[in-house]
Amino acid sequence: MSQSADVSVGEEAARDLLVSLVDTPSPTGDEEECADLLAAFFEERGREVWRDEAGNVRAPADDSVLLTSHIDTVPGDIPVRVEDDGDGESATLWGRGSVDAKGPLAAMAAAAVETGVSFVGVVGEETDSRGARFLVDDREAPDAVVNGEPSGWDGVTLGYRGFLAGEYSVNTESAHTSRPDANAIQEAMAWWRAVEESLSSAGADGGGDDAKGADDAEDEPAVFERVTAKPVAFSGGVADDGLSVAATVEVQFRIPPGETAAGIRGTVEDELESGAIEWNEPIPPVMETPRSEVARAFRTAIRRVGGDPRLTRKTGTSDMNLYAAAWDCPMATYGPGDSELDHAPNEHLDLGAFDRAVAVLERVSETLQS
């Protein structure tokens, strides 16, 4: 489907959209009001737009490139305000989602209207990526994809590690605590120690920061190539009937390119001496080539807007992993904002960087349309 770009958005309207989106809470599962606001932005400018069964905002047009970012945020109340930086030219927007990822979302919406390319605002990225999963099942691949996450206006993300999650559970008969026999809680602790040791001997990392925004290209180059293992929840105790002790551990593993979910599952299950583990559906890693037409378009656009382009990899996981697994087309992730502020209590976005990101996205879209 093609749609001509005959509406100019302008810097003020793009900023107004951003502030409105940030001022409208949209924690995962409660995205409807924010999605309606986003859809109205396209309707008011003559674009076809609708909400699909998953809740995504779909504005199809020229599929030379699909611009897509997520509407939902993690929970957290950060008072929304715009602060003048004192120089008369720059300002900062504070609020939950300003960086992750309403800055990229608003920049993409403005660029999509300005250039007439396709746009989708997806739901559920912060939990199960249900919006992206529905999207890849519901439509054919575009010619190219730009996924929206904070990379810095002069940065382009080409790689993410994959993701594997599961829940280990074990039960033992209850006994007096003076007895030496290990109970379920001890067995769960011993199992996790064995998993960490096994993965560590294979070059994995059992600690450190693993936020989706952590950028290893500049800070810790080795992290991207390693498996990271993390327990994220632990519960246990004597059952209500008093006859058994139960323990559960929710675990997550980040999968670098070159590793597979099946290989990690095998390593983890080899350490099972008791109990069992149930696995969720994995998300594979992705590493795009810097020589693709999308990467080249970004390098050129960033230079024309006055920046020195940076190519980065992220140690976490994003919806781009799902797009890469389903669609055979070039892609990258891009958006204004410092990824160190993802989910942070001081989340904020420089509005000058936002303006430059809109300009970059417009140039990239125009290049990919030609």
Which are the catalytic amino acids? 72, 125
Question: Is the peptide bond prior to 101 cis by the omega test (within 30 degrees of 0)?
Answer: yes
Place of tokens 């069964």: 53
* Residue for token pair 């190219």: 144
SS3 70: strand
Distances (CA, A) of 332 to 140, 203, 292, 318: 18, 27, 9, 11
Only one residue has tokens 């209500």, namely 240
Of the CA atoms within 13 Å of residue 28, those in its CB half-sphere come to 14
Buried b (16+ CB within 10 A) or exposed e, 158-170: bbbbbbbbbebbb
CA–CA separation, 183 vs 177, rounded Å? Answer: 9
Phi-psi region of 44 (alpha: psi -120 to 50; beta: other; left: phi over 0): alpha
Question: Helix 102-115 crosses helix 32-43 at what angle (to 10 degrees)?
Answer: 20
Helices (H), the chain: 11-22, 32-43, 102-115, 130-138, 184-201, 261-269, 293-304, 319-326, 351-369
Who contacts 189 (Cβ-Cβ below 8 Å, separation ≥6)?
Answer: none
Q: Give the integer Cα–Cα distance in Å for 185 and 189.
A: 6
Q: Measured between alpha carbons, how far is 188 from 303 in angstroms, rounded to an integer?
A: 53
The residue type at 306: G
Residues in the chain: 370
DSSP state of 87: S
Q: How many CB atoms lie under 10 A from the CB of residue 267?
A: 19
How many CA atoms lie less than 13 Å away from 87 in the CB half-sphere? 6
